[in-house]
Structure formats: C-alpha cells, structure tokens
A and B are shown apart, each in its own frame.
Chain A
Amino acid sequence: MIEYNEKNIKTWSLVGSRATFGLISLELAKKEKDLMILTSDVSTSAGLDRFRKTFPEKYIDVGIAEQNLIGIAAGLSSEGYKVFTTTFAPFQTMRCCEQIKVNLGYMKKKVNLVGLASGLVLGNLGYTHCCIEDISITRSIPNLTVISPADCVETAKAIESSLEHENSVYIRLTGGQNNPQVYTKDYKFKIGKAIKLLDGDDVAIFCTGTMVKECLIAADILKSKSLNCSVINIHTIKPIDKKIIEEMSNKKKLIVSVEEHSVIGGLGSAISEVKSTIENSPKQLFIGIPDQYKFSGSYKFLKEKYGLEAKSIAKKILNSYKV
C-alpha cells in the first residue's frame, strides 16, 4: 500500500514527479508479483536506479528503441504481466505512436505508459525534448485513458490507480524537482472524476498538470480584483468528466482552459468538444502554448514567455472577462 502521509508527500514534492514514479514503483513491486517495468535506457531519469537493483527480475531495459519497447510490453501484457513503460514524453508517445495505436488501442493489450518530463520542463534541451503534443495525440487513440497529474501526490495516485484500470493509461508527468504541492494530505482520486478545488461564481478555470497550482494562485489574484473563480483539476483528460463541464457551462460567465500543452487538441479542445454541445454556453478562453516552436530557454523563462504563470493567467482571464 502506498502511504499518503506528510513525510512521503513532502519527499515526493521535493524529488519531483519522475523520481516519485521510481519511489512508487518500489512500493508496488513489493505487492505485485507480476509487475514489470520497461524502460529504454532511462532508468536514472525515471528514478528507477534503486528499482533496477532491488527488483532486477521485474525490470527490463530494451535500449534506445521505443517501438520495440511498446511491442515487448504488449507481449508481456498478453501473458498476464502488469506492465509500465517509461521514457521521456516525446519518445514515449510519438516515436512509437503506431505501436500504441495497434497494440494498446486496437488490440487492447493493457500497458501503462509513463511520459517523463512532458511540457516545457526540458526547455534548455530544445523542443526535441519538450513535449507539447502528447495529450492531443494520445487522446485520439481509442481504448487509451489519459491522465495528467497536478502534482507528485496525484502522480502517485495515478500510477497506483492505473494498475487496476481496465484500459491502458498514458500518465503525463509535468514539472521538475521541488514540484509545487496542490495536495498536502491524502484525498480521494478516481480516474475520470475531476476535482473542484475552489468554488467561485463568475469564471470556471479547468486546468491540468502543473497548471493547477498556477491557476489556484491566479484565482487568488482575481479574487482580490473581485472576480470569483472556480478552479477544477482535470487530472483525467480522457475520458473527460462531462458532468462538471456541463455544470460549469450552465452556471458561469466564462470558461477557461489552462494547460502546459499546445492549444490544439489538448485539454482546451477536450472541454470545447463537450461545451459546444451545450446551448448558450459561455465563451471559452484557451490558455496554453500557441501552435509554434518559438522560444528557447529555461522552464521558468518559457512559462513566462507563453504566459503560463499565475500572474499572466490572471491577466488573460481578467481581459477576457471584461470583453
């Protein structure tokens, strides 16, 4: 059992989402006889060095070969193993996209994919290593669930829940070390059920991944300007929680989506696909990364450039609300 106590929560936040995956894997391996973790030469990056040494029989490194990674994983899955694969998000989702489609989607071989360092956190390394397309791509594959945890506690919850989930799951990890905490104690997490973190009458902010924390701060800023926002953590992007989108669309004057992802095909699109079926639904403001590979630099620099920190988010919402 994973213990969601204060000490663990602090540790996970400190080490970041990738290393949290490694720590959770160690816990899961103790009780899951058939657990198998496959990587493509990223054991250190995935926080799996201890796992690799402690449970060598549950660990397979396939080398830098992501297509083979997914094929082997699907083969093991069909023999009853509970399989996680992991590598950096672009390689985990795009290099082997068709293997995911055929083996996990079409054939329904259950494999849990963990995309490391998605979004902009590897900005210094360039857009080969950033990943602003993965939600869009994975979301379009039938029989694949897509989860984007808000912080390291939710990362732990997502990994634990995905083990027993019926479908294959893509878990998109964002943020770096010292990952800001959204959750400071245990809470109820259910795949597909969004979590309302803040209630406000005027605006509904749907957010995911690292943007959840930014949006909570943005909502505070807006409150000081007399604009009351609901903040909803959409940790599961597929299947999307239609009920909460319908509820918010009927009550609020502005719908906002905020994601560390391209504005094409991600959370914003998923919300608008539901919202557009609702009569007289309010306008939607899409906050995310525009359709470009433009700025280069650190995570902080890129978030500022793309207006993905709390202050910019608040400003965009205020401007949109006024119009």
Chain B
Amino acid sequence: MSKKIEKKTILKIEDFSSRIRKNILEMSNEAGANSSHFGGALSIVEIISTLFCHKMRINEDKNWAKRDRFILSKGHSCLAYYAALSEIGYIKKSELKTFEKDGSNLLGHPVANEKLGIDFSNGSLGMGLSLGIGLAISSKKKNLNFNVYVILGDGECNEGSVWEAAMSGAHFKLDNLFAIIDRNNFQQTGTSDEIMSLNNLREKWSSFGWNVLEVDGHNISEILNALSSVISDKPTALIANTIKGKGFSFSENNNNWHHAVMTKSNYEKALEEIENSKKINDRI
C-alpha cells in the first residue's frame, strides 16, 4: 500500500540527487586517465540519496551506536557513496578532489575509515550482505533497533556468497535488514542476460524467504514507499530497476561507461546537460 509522501520531501531528495550526480561527474573528471566506475554509480543515485538524505537514522556523530548502518556491497559505485557522505558533511568537498589520487582516502573502492564515516571496505563482490547480517543480528541482540541497508549490484548476484547470505538473512528473521539490488541489467563485459542470466530476481529473493518489492530505482516515492513496506520477521529486498549511466545522454544504457575515462568533451557535454535540466526544472 503506497503512502502519500510530502512533496517537499521528494523535492529535497531530488535536489540531493542532483548534487550527487554533479559530484560524480566532477570526481570522474578528477580521476582522469585512472578511469572511474561512472555508469554503476549513476544508477544508484536516487537510491543512495533517499537513504542518506531522508531514510537513514544518522547524525553528525559517525559512531552513534543507534545509527542505521550502510554497506555498499557493490563497492565500485563508490563515487555515489563519497558524494553522499560529502552532502551529509562527513567528507569535505575539497577531499572529493583527491579521488583515486596517490595517498587519497577515497580510492576506487571504499576503504573503511572511521573519520569519514565509511564503516566497511568493499570492492570484492558478494561480501557485503554477510556483513550486514552480522550487524542486523547485533542490532536485535543489543536492542539498538537500527536498520541495515546494503546495496548490491545485479551482476554481483552471480556470486554464490550472495545467496548464502540471502538464505541466512531469512533464517535469522532479520526484518531490520534491507538488500537493495541495483537492477541495471548490465555487468562489466555485457548485459546480464549475455554474461549470466539472472532470470527472475524477484522470485529468487522471494523463494529465499525475503519480502520483495520491485520499484523504479529512479523514482524516489516508489523507493521510499518500498522501504516502509516491512513485514515482521522477514528481511526486505528491493529490486530497483535502474538505468546504468542514468542522467547523461552519452552514458545512459551505454556499458562502455562501466569503467571509463571522462574526456574533456564528455565532461563539457555533461555540464551542459546539467545546466539545461536546471533550466527546465526552473520553468516547471
């Protein structure tokens, strides 16, 4: 059952998303010849924005025991994560410019860093959900009542360890655990149908005992509604249908942008597209 969400909440999250998208572009440009995982970061912008801007219980204390926990299991999408942490004040804007530079805290996959509010190192696929299960069990045992949000890639669901974790999340009745699957239908070297068919992901998670909801992963009210549709004693999985490279004409559904170098001309084109969309929004 969908709930009415206040328009100002949606606008606030949309605004947050726009800034994240802009910062993804800037960091990708900073990375230069090092390349960056551009496409998979853009597909999770609305998801991560909904979490960090509104849904998650967080405050300025990065170690607050009752804070909701976040794990970016598809660690290569860290551009979106760093941008979100910057928006909530955990990472200085100036530090974003160090992305993938020598000696930086912000590498091409997240490295656990208490000062920056990054709780876990990720990058090797298929590991994040298990960590999340440990956290969710702890939340219940210690009566801290925090939620755990884990973002996984659809390609990541090729990993057997994801399904070990899925099985146990349901077994331990972790209704404080959310797995959000970025269903952009691509993985590194092709579509998921070409590389390894995932078939019906919804049925898969459902048959593992999860409360499953399918949403448009760029529609904030759908994401928010789904995150509120919890069933007691069941973990929740969101199959978020997304567009890899979402937000820029040259990168949308173009898997060459899985990990690519931002050229000057693309950078300028992207800036222009951001400006144009602002103008359209202003008119609306």
Chain A residues contacting B167 (CB-CB under 8 Å) are 63, 65
Q: Do A76 and B134 have beta carbons less than 8 Å apart?
A: yes
Once the chains bind, are A67 and B134 in contact (CB under 8 Å)? no
B124 x A75 contact (CB < 8 A): no
- Which residues from B are CB-within-8-Å of A68? 130, 133, 161, 164-165, 168
Q: Tell me the nearest residue of chain B to A40, going by C-beta.
A: B164
Q: With A and B bound together, what is the CA distance between A98 and B159 in angstroms?
A: 13
User: Are B130 and A67 closer than 8 Å at their CB atoms?
Assistant: yes
The reply to whether B119 and A72 form a contact with Cβ atoms under 8 Å apart is no
Scoring B119, B123, B137, B171 by chain A CB atoms within 10 A of each residue's CB, the highest score goes to B137
Structural contact, B141 and A99, CB atoms closer than 8 A: no
Q: Is B132 an interface residue (CB 8 A)?
A: yes
Q: Which residues of B contact A73 (CB under 8 A)?
A: 134
* Secondary structure type dominating chain B contacts: helix
How far apart are the CA atoms of A264 and B95 in the complex, in Å? 45
Is there a chain A Cβ closer than 8 Å to B135's Cβ?
yes
Residues of A contacting B136 in the complex (Cβ-Cβ under 8 angstroms): 75
Instruction: Please report the C-alpha to C-alpha distance between residue A81 and residue B144 in the assembled complex, in whole angstroms.
Output: 14
Q: Which residues between 96 and 134 of chain A lie within 8 Å of chain B, taking CB atoms?
A: 98-99, 102-103, 106-108
For the complex formed, measure the closest distance between the CB of A110 and the CB atoms of chain B, giving whole angstroms. Answer: 13
Smallest CB-CB separation from B133: which chain A residue? Answer: A72
Within 8 A of B (CB), among A17-48: none
What does the 1/0 interface line of B124-164 toward A look like (CB < 8 Å)?
A: 10110111111111110110000000000000000011001
Q: Is the CB of A107 within 8 A of B124?
A: no
Is A75 touching B137 in the complex (CB atoms < 8 A)?
A: yes
**B-side interface residues, number (CB < 8 Å):** 28
Choose among A62, A79, A99, A102 the residue that contacts B138 (Cβ–Cβ < 8 A).
A79
* Nearest residue, chain A, Cβ from B130: A71
Q: Cα distance A65–B167 when bound, in Å?
A: 10
Chain B neighbourhood of A57, CB < 8 A: 141
Cα A28 to Cα B62 with chains together (Å): 32
Taking the closest CB of chain B, its distance from the CB of A113, in whole angstroms, is: 15
Chain B residues with Cβ under 8 A from A62's Cβ? 164, 168
CB distance from A100 to the nearest CB of B (A): 11
The answer to whether B130 touches A99, judged by C-beta atoms less than 8 angstroms apart, is: yes
B120 at the interface (CB under 8 A from A): yes
**Are B134 and A75 in contact, with the CB atoms below 8 A?**
yes
Asked whether B112 is an interface residue with its Cβ less than 8 Å from the other chain, the reply is yes
CA distance A102 to B111 in the complex (A): 10
Q: Is B121 an interface residue (CB 8 A)?
A: yes
Q: Which residues of the partner chain B approach A74 to less than 8 Å between Cβ atoms?
A: 130-131, 134
Distance of A71 from chain B, by nearest CB (Å): 2
- A76 to B127 CA separation, bound complex (whole angstroms): 14
Contact between B137 and A72, CB atoms less than 8 A apart: yes
Q: How far is the CA of A108 from the CA of B112 in the complex (A)?
A: 9
Residues of A within 8 A of B139 (CB): 79
The answer on a CB contact under 8 Å between B133 and A71 is yes
| Complex: chain A residue closest to B144, CB-CB | A79
**Which of A57, A75, A102, A103 is the most central at the interface, judged by chain B CB atoms within 10 Å of its CB?**
A75
Q: Which residues from 90 to 134 on chain B have a C-beta closer than 8 Å to any C-beta of chain A?
A: 112, 119-121, 123-124, 126-127, 129-134
A78 within 8 A of partner (CB): yes
Cβ-defined contact, A79 with B131, below 8 A = no
| CB of A60 within 8 Å of the partner chain | yes
Residue contact A71 to B121, C-beta cutoff 8 Å:
no
Minimum distance in angstroms from B3 CB to a CB of chain A:
31
Q: How far is the CA of A81 from the CA of B142 in the complex (A)?
A: 10
Collect the chain B residues with CB atoms within 8 Å of residue A70's CB: 130
> Can you list, as one digit per residue, whether each of A133-161 has a CB less than 8 Å from chain B (1) or not (0)?
00000000000000000000000000000
**Shortest distance between the CB of B216 and any CB in chain A (Å):** 30
A78 to B137, CA, bound (A): 12
A106 touches B165 (CB 8 A): no
Contact B134 A78 (CB under 8 A): yes
The answer to whether B135 and A78 have CB atoms under 8 Å apart is yes
Residues on the B chain within 8 Å of A106, using CB: 121
| New A-B pairs, 10, CB < 8 Å, besides A60-B137, A102-B121 | A65-B168, A67-B126, A67-B160, A68-B133, A74-B134, A75-B130, A76-B135, A78-B119, A103-B127, A107-B120
Can you sample 11 A-B contacts with CB below 8 Å?
A60-B137, A63-B167, A63-B168, A67-B127, A67-B130, A72-B133, A75-B132, A75-B135, A78-B134, A102-B121, A103-B131
Ranked nearest first, the 8 interchain pairs of A and B with the lowest CB-CB distance are A75-B134, A71-B130, A79-B138, A65-B164, A68-B164, A67-B161, A72-B134, A75-B131
